[in-house]
């Protein structure tokens, strides 16, 4: 029996074209709306959304379009138009080429229930560099499957109850082929520690020790900015961080304070600036560099906060007040 397909109108001028699945949930086939940042609800038409269908958000003739005419004030949310997407915790599967040609997609958020990711889901997604996982670094997720389909750099943020509890940086890598001998036999080679970082999983859970172990080799291949991201995020969220790896990260950041300061100011991450100042990873010289950079980019609030931290650092009496990324 063919599954029943229908379009459901939801609040905020959203329309969803869905079909039923054998499990009693629904598969999302197409979305229509008037805004490029989309949050898919857990239920549509009273049924849980369990799958993202093949070509669901793709710019492709193979996408399943709704035969009915969508409302006058909406358009299909697909391709380069889509910027950010939040999937509900109920989604367990993402179909083939679901985001094909989504060249503007920058961020994807998903829950720990995601268990199956089909082939080429991110083909031609040139701008996707942020994955948000609603869960901890110590939970089983579909993250490994998603990372396996991204060779460019990816910033992975773990959130619990809307609070960041973990962050990992996966560098980009590339695959290339070497010709062996006159027989025109080619062997594939891989350049970049990003590939090895993506293998650091056990039963769908991030192998944090394995991730930390690649850092020493990464220093021979990756840029200082990439290495500062890897080290800084692990020190900021040190789940299962062993003392040797912690020391290695600290030493690297202390020897690359200029790069670290530039990175944190670029992100406007005053919380990490404070943390690294308190731990003397950012020395007074590093804080001076951060203040100068913040001033150059006309980050007024950040410049004031960094100067205040400098005074606290000089006096050796840091205040209890904490800043958050959202404050700026």
55 occurs within a structural domain: yes
**Residue 7, pLDDT score:** 87
**Residue 313, pLDDT score:** 87
Query: pLDDT band for position 8 (50/70/90)?
Result: confident
**Residue 73, pLDDT score:** 84
**Residue 178, pLDDT score:** 63
Residues recorded for the chain: 328
- Mean pLDDT, the chain, whole residue set: 92
Q: At residue 93, does pLDDT exceed 90?
A: yes
Quote the domain boundaries for residue 23: 1-128
Q: In the predicted model, what is the mean pLDDT of residues 307-328?
A: 67
Indicate which CATH number applies to the domain containing 100: 3.80.10.10
**Residue 175, pLDDT score:** 78
- Our measurement of the distance from residue 199's CA atom to the centroid of its chain's CA atoms, rounded to an integer in Å, reads 17
Q: At residue 318, does pLDDT exceed 60?
A: no
pLDDT in tens, 246-284: 999 999 999 999 999 999 999 999 999 999 999 999 999
At which of 97, 128, 159 does a domain end?
A: 128
At which of 98, 128, 158 does a domain end?
A: 128
42 occurs within a structural domain: yes
**Residue 154, pLDDT score:** 98
Beta strands in the chain (DSSP E): 5-10, 14-20, 26-33, 37-39, 43-44, 47-52, 75-76, 84-86, 93-94, 107-111, 116-117, 130-134, 154-160, 163-170, 174-180, 185-191, 201-202, 205-206
- Number of folded domains that form the chain: 2
pLDDT in tens, 38-59: 999 999 999 999 999 999 999 9
**Residue 9, pLDDT score:** 84
Query: pLDDT band for position 6 (50/70/90)?
Result: confident
205 occurs within a structural domain: no
Q: In the predicted model, what is the mean pLDDT of residues 202-224?
A: 96
**Residue 328, pLDDT score:** 41
**Residue 190, pLDDT score:** 79
**Residue 10, pLDDT score:** 84
318 occurs within a structural domain: yes
**Residue 189, pLDDT score:** 77
List CB contacts of 11: < 8 A, sequence separation 6 or more. Answer: none
184 occurs within a structural domain: no
182 occurs within a structural domain: no
**Residue 70, pLDDT score:** 77
36 occurs within a structural domain: yes
Q: At residue 180, does pLDDT exceed 80?
A: no
CB 191 within 8 A of CB 174: yes
At which of 73, 108, 128 does a domain end?
A: 128
Q: At residue 326, does pLDDT exceed 60?
A: no
pLDDT in tens, 48-88: 999 999 999 999 999 999 988 777 789 999 999 999 999 99
Closest CA to 152 of 193, 194, 120, 119: 194
**Residue 327, pLDDT score:** 46
Closest CA to 64 of 54, 72, 74: 54
**Residue 177, pLDDT score:** 64
159 occurs within a structural domain: no
Q: What is the residue whose two structure tokens read 């290339």? A: 176
Q: At residue 182, does pLDDT exceed 80?
A: no
């Amino acid at each position: 029996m063919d599954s029943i397909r229908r379009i459901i109108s939801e609040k905020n001028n959203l329309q969803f074209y869905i079909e039923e699945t054998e499990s009693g949930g629904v598969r999302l086939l197409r979305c229509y709306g008037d805004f490029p940042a989309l949050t898919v609800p857990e239920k549509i038409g009273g049924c849980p959304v369990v799958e993202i269908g093949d070509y669901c958000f793709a710019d492709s003739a193979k996408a399943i379009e709704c035969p009915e005419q969508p409302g006058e004030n909406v358009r299909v949310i697909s391709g380069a138009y889509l910027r950010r997407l939040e999937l509900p915790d109920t989604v367990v599967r993402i179909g083939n080429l679901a985001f094909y040609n989504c060249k503007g997609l920058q961020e994807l958020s998903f829950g720990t229930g995601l268990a199956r990711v089909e082939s080429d889901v991110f083909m031609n997604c040139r701008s996707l560099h942020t994955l948000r996982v609603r869960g901890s670094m110590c939970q089983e997720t579909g993250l490994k499957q998603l990372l396996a389909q991204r060779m460019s750099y990816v910033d992975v943020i773990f959130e619990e109850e809307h609070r960041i509890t973990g962050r990992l940086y996966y560098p980009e890598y590339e695959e290339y082929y070497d010709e062996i001998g006159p027989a025109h036999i080619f062997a594939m080679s891989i350049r970049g520690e990003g590939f090895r970082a993506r293998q650091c999983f056990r039963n769908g859970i991030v192998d944090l020790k394995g991730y930390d172990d690649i850092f020493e080799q990464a220093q021979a291949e990756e840029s200082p900015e990439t290495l500062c991201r890897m080290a800084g995020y692990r020190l900021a969220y040190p789940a299962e961080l062993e003392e040797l790896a912690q020391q290695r990260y600290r030493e690297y950041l202390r020897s690359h304070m200029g790069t670290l300061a530039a990175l944190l100011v670029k992100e406007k991450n005053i919380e990490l600036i404070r943390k690294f100042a308190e731990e003397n990873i950012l020395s007074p010289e590093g804080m001076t560099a951060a203040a100068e950079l913040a001033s150059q980019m006309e980050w007024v609030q950040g410049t004031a906060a960094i100067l205040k931290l400098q005074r606290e650092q000089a006096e050796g009496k840091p205040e209890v007040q904490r800043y958050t990324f959202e404050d700026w």
